[in-house]
Structure 1
């Protein structure tokens, strides 16, 4: 694998120039993390994606088309929903940023619409995607259908068993779903396979990454496409809260795109940023610096330095790495990262459902679980105001929970 560091002219971002979440340094570096570690055969492909993104992001017509699709197709802006019953029980003010209300049912559509437009701009005819929980695969299949592209989605065989509904949704949308039978048969292995396939198909296919991971420019580009979550929430909180900014901003973290998009709206405020990982897949908490899937970050590793298996009841968090910008935010202590167990997650999903009538995804329930545990402690004192990103809806998880007797 080769680490390549390319320079390119700067491009206007929606981030303030002094923001801690503005454009990465040369070569796609966030402090000591990020970069581009890919086979020589993908160097030019990554450079072309970066060049096209920079051009598109500076093109008012591209931005207007994306904004219109987000509005009339994806259903933005999403609601900021007060959770009065949960707030009363916990002694907090809890606000929910409702990405579960988007078309396709998760935040993934924000990123995929942007990347599908890039693929169309580059003259590519096919989207390649990996998926764990199936939400990114569904979003990729949806955008491909909308723009007249083919879609090929790689998914671990174990995840396909856990997420049969989303597999069926993808095929209904016209995507080809390829089961991955190597390794743990989960998201890590799907990422391996999609990158291998891209090597052989760079002339006609576009790799549509599902999170803030992968070789540069993907971590930066996906965060910029997801920044809309944080920017909307910031404006909504200003209208809803006397202090304008919540004391805590909380989101689940696997690769970390919903958290990165949310944090981007609050990183330059006094809000505490909290990313919640699965206890069995906590790269920020238990990982060491290494290279995986084309980027350098914190990665779960065994005693020999090999990538270790992750575990989570939520297939979207069943991943051994974390986005490089999250590793950097942790290094500079601007965000902190905590873990919750599977049992806490299931209990949190039930509690949100029964107090507020909202069935969230297992991934999103990680953020709820930490708030439930920390409420009234020094981590989250009584009277705090908490914004939680509900990254997706829970329909996809009900069959698995029923089968497991949960």
Structure 2
């Protein structure tokens, strides 16, 4: 019998979309080295343990795996293609640039990958409401979509600044039936939306589930969201091998909380010859505290939202103000696995500024006819910067994590288009 009310009639013919990852990361307490864990009150710890138990049960069930695989194929439209950006590569000179087209997924980004998993888990656990935060609105739209599919009420908390900036996604969430909760406190962006959603979740963790939108928060969410997003890298790795008979030399993705990047990187972690690059927002300058969100580049180990990770902090130890032109990257923490990968040197974390990102947004739009999300455009900006410095025999694979419909009006207004 199907876990949700959606059809899984072809389940017996669908291979698993959800193979089990290396069980050593994280450990049983949810740590990636010194990062992660469950830094939450006792009452919430029990709720997190219950989610982890349910997740470890459901992920090994054939009907869940088959249903998720069917939905990934027939609902999301996976596998998403890998596109060789020939004109862009030729214009820049140097290395060839390829794009993993997560922007072509249903709802327009990688977020649907974990939102389907979280909605099915909520259904399995008998939850009566799904609560979440969103920054750029892509997680909110994807979760509202998944909740509509399985028939569970959805409540999305979103900063007022982001509501005004990402109006198309706000409209979609409302059309899909989600309850939108504007957050006006503080900077009224992603951190405040997370705070607000957690507060409501704490009022009834027995009946509600907080569907975290990235590889952040208390255990098991960094593990769980990573596992659902790992399909991106598995597909991309095999697609590149099938087409080119080799792996890419460089794999790049933007990093805020870090879900699209972990989704892409996981499949390549054991490929020592593949250079992995996470691109953070330098905003208006790394020398301007509060005007960037380069957590791994300028932050230090700390604690935020129930986890240990790199954090941008003020002198008193509270989270610092952050800024990015991309609402989905506007966060003073980062996923604990990214923090671990930085410390062991497996991934290079670098930055792209607002201006570089806007240029990448326009260039990809006008040279290849692909309008990227501003978040994704950070990774495109890195590829555009680095490709001319590399030989033409090398290949850069960029995770184009979302499309830029949501950003088009904002960019046009900012640039006077």
Given candidates 270, 280, 291, the residue that maps to 1:268 is: 270
Q: Which residue of 1 aligns with 2:141?
A: 138
5+ long unaligned stretches in structure 2: 1-17, 283-291
Is the 2:97–2:383 contact (alpha carbons within 8 Å) kept by the matching residues of 1?
no
Given candidates 115, 118, 123, the residue that maps to 2:118 is: 115
Given candidates 334, 352, 363, the residue that maps to 1:322 is: 334
Matches within 5 A, 1:35-114: 35-89=37-91, 90-114=93-117
C-alpha distance in 1 between matches for 2:24 and 2:143: 26
C-alpha distance in 2 between matches for 1:66 and 1:201: 28
Distance 1:16 1:62, change over 3 A: closer
Q: Deviations over 1:179-228 (max 9, x none)?
A: 01111100000011111111102122111110000000000000000000
- More off after superposition, 272-281 vs 380-389: 380-389
Distance 1:235 1:22, change over 3 A: farther
Q: Which residue of 1 aligns with 2:393?
A: 383
Q: Deviations over 1:27-55 (max 9, x none)?
A: 10001100011122211110011001100
C-alpha distance in 1 between matches for 2:414 and 2:204: 39
Matches within 5 A, 1:251-400: 251-269=253-271, 270-279=273-282, 280-377=292-389, 380-400=390-410
Given candidates 31, 34, 45, the residue that maps to 1:32 is: 34
Q: CA deviation at 1:252?
A: 0.3
Is the 1:246–1:385 contact (alpha carbons within 8 Å) kept by the matching residues of 2?
yes
C-alpha distance in 2 between matches for 1:142 and 1:295: 28
Q: Does 1:23 align with 2:28?
A: no
C-alpha distance in 2 between matches for 1:180 and 1:386: 39
C-alpha distance in 2 between matches for 1:237 and 1:353: 23
C-alpha distance in 1 between matches for 2:41 and 2:153: 25
C-alpha distance in 2 between matches for 1:23 and 1:91: 36
Q: Which residue of 1 aligns with 2:179?
A: 176
Q: CA deviation at 1:383?
A: 2.9
Stretches of 4+ aligned residues off by more than 2 angstroms:
13-17, 380-383
Q: CA deviation at 1:165?
A: 0.9
Q: CA deviation at 1:162?
A: 0.4
Distance 1:282 1:374, change over 3 A: same
Given candidates 393, 399, 413, the residue that maps to 1:403 is: 413
- For residue 230 of structure 2, give the secondary structure of its aligned residue in structure 1: helix
C-alpha distance in 1 between matches for 2:80 and 2:201: 33
5+ long unaligned stretches in structure 1: 1-12
C-alpha distance in 2 between matches for 1:330 and 1:383: 28
Q: CA deviation at 1:353?
A: 1.0
C-alpha distance in 2 between matches for 1:405 and 1:343: 11
Q: Which residue of 1 aligns with 2:234?
A: 231
C-alpha distance in 2 between matches for 1:176 and 1:309: 27
Is the 1:15–1:22 contact (alpha carbons within 8 Å) kept by the matching residues of 2?
no
Alignment: residue pair count? 388
Is the 2:233–2:268 contact (alpha carbons within 8 Å) kept by the matching residues of 1?
yes
Q: CA deviation at 1:329?
A: 0.5
Structure 1 length-normalised TM: 0.93
C-alpha distance in 1 between matches for 2:339 and 2:414: 34
C-alpha distance in 2 between matches for 1:38 and 1:118: 21
Q: Deviations over 1:123-149 (max 9, x none)?
A: 012110100000000011101111111
